[in-house]
Amino acid sequence: MKVAIIGCGGMGAVHARVASLAGFRVVACGDVIRAKAESLANRIGAEATDDCLGLIRKEGIDIVAITTPTPQHVPFVIAAAEAGKHVFCEKPLGRTVEECQEAVRVAQKHRVKLYVGHVVRFFQEFERIRSVVLSGRIGKVGFVKTYRGGIFPRGEGLWFRDYAQSGGVTLDTIIHDFDWIRYMWGDPKRVFCQALLRGDIIDYSLVTLRMKNDVLAHVIGTWAHPGGFRVKVEVCGDKGMVGYDSNEAPIESMKRESAGGQPGMIVPGSPVPVSPYQLEWEDFRAWLEGKTSPRVTAEDAVWAVKISLAALESAKTKEPVVFN
């Protein structure tokens, strides 16, 4: 199956590599900045273009991988679906719940498969925690705490600093944790968020989720540290606790992509032979081949955006948001 990458920054390079490892053939790279498309295309032996819509509609492309800034996700998803192409889209699916729902509707209408990259479901550390919880070894879970973040990202054209585009750490980063928590314990019934935003130096978000099964989740997201990136998770049950801290990993578990000499986006890594990013592409391939159902559904991706935006609304109003 032939893949076209739309958006050739840091995540575009990551997905071009792991898609190839998962058995796909990346044949074309598109970016509105032609030099970026050419740079990635030259590294992987593909063609390059700055006409992204033209590339999406090109004959011979089976799958479109969308790795652009968030506001461009849904327009490209819709264009690809209307062209009859299957879609891999980086998280978050979109900037609003309504546009996410429209993307899902159009994909269903044209009978194409839409896969969204909520990669934490594939991180081996998180999967190990899941297996421990499901085994019953720590008993009935009552409390979950996650932490994700580090330095304020400045790469990829500085679009992260435009909150109308990125949604900040709450939408761009801890959406991973919202998705994983819902994957583990089902839908939330309410969310409360307190946040501190100060220019392009500090973005700190503290979110409390009460799940419908009464599990309490405490989620911290930060773009406030002077350097680095860290992930932590603790799951507490009535018989014990299981946790993970990336700073305690035996080898470095994060890598940094830089742009323009400034600290850029930070791509979580994992000290294992097979990247979680490759595993999600393998899951996508199995779904395309009719072998399995996807671990991440389009509806899951809509829910993740819904929780993130509810947290942002709560931070603004200083009141909890209740889900119907």
Alpha carbon 310 to its chain's center:
17
Per residue in 254-288, pLDDT (tens digit) is: 333 334 444 455 555 556 678 999 999 999 999 99
Q: What is the pLDDT of residue 271?
A: 61
Residue 109 Cα distances to 3, 78, 113, 264, angstroms: 22, 11, 11, 37
Which residue did the predictor score with more confidence, 319 or 227?
319
Least confident residue range of 201-210, 217-226, 241-250, 302-311: 241-250
Asked whether residue 11 is domain-assigned, the answer is: yes
Asked whether the beta carbons of 4 and 30 are under 8 A apart, the reply is yes
Least confident residue range of 58-62, 167-171, 267-271, 299-303: 267-271
Which residue in the block uniquely carries the two structure tokens 């609003």?
96
For residue 215, what are the domain limits? 122-271+298-322
Domain count, the chain: 2
Q: What is the pLDDT of residue 155?
A: 60
Asked whether residue 148 is domain-assigned, the answer is: yes
Beta bridge partners of 205: 195, 221
Asked whether residue 76 is domain-assigned, the answer is: yes
- pTM for this structure? 0.91
Residue 21 sits in a domain whose CATH number is 3.40.50.720
Residue 113 and residue 140 in one domain? no
Residue 252 has pLDDT above 50, yes or no: no
**84: number of Cβ within 10 Å:** 12
Asked whether residue 82 is domain-assigned, the answer is: yes
Residue 233 and residue 249 in one domain? yes
Strands 229-237 and 141-151: antiparallel
- Which of 89, 117, 145 finishes a domain? 117
The Cα 308–Cα 316 span in angstroms is: 13
Per residue in 9-49, pLDDT (tens digit) is: 999 999 999 999 999 999 999 999 999 999 999 999 999 99
Which residue did the predictor score with more confidence, 128 or 201?
128
- Which of 117, 140, 162 finishes a domain? 117
Beta bridge partners of 196: 204
Per residue in 111-165, pLDDT (tens digit) is: 999 999 999 999 999 999 999 999 999 999 999 999 999 988 876 557 888 888 8
Residue 233 has pLDDT above 50, yes or no: yes
**200: number of Cβ within 10 Å:** 14
Asked whether residue 199 is domain-assigned, the answer is: yes
- Which of 97, 117, 137 finishes a domain? 117
Element (H, E) at 169: helix 168-172
266-303: burial string, b at 16+ Cβ within 10 Å, e else: bbbbbeeeebbbbbbbbbbbebbeeeeebbbbbebbbb
Segments of the chain assigned E as strands: 2-6, 25-30, 47-49, 63-66, 86-90, 114-117, 141-151, 188-198, 202-211, 216-225, 229-237, 240-245, 254-256, 266-268, 321-322
Q: DSSP class of residue 164?
A: H
- When the pLDDT of each residue in the chain is averaged and rounded to a whole number, the result is 92
Asked whether residue 35 is domain-assigned, the answer is: yes
Q: What is the pLDDT of residue 40?
A: 97
238 exposed, middle or buried (CB, 10 Å; 0-12, 13-18, 19+)? exposed
Q: What is the pLDDT of residue 255?
A: 32
Beta bridge partners of 53: none
Which residue in the block uniquely carries the two structure tokens 């990669």?
119
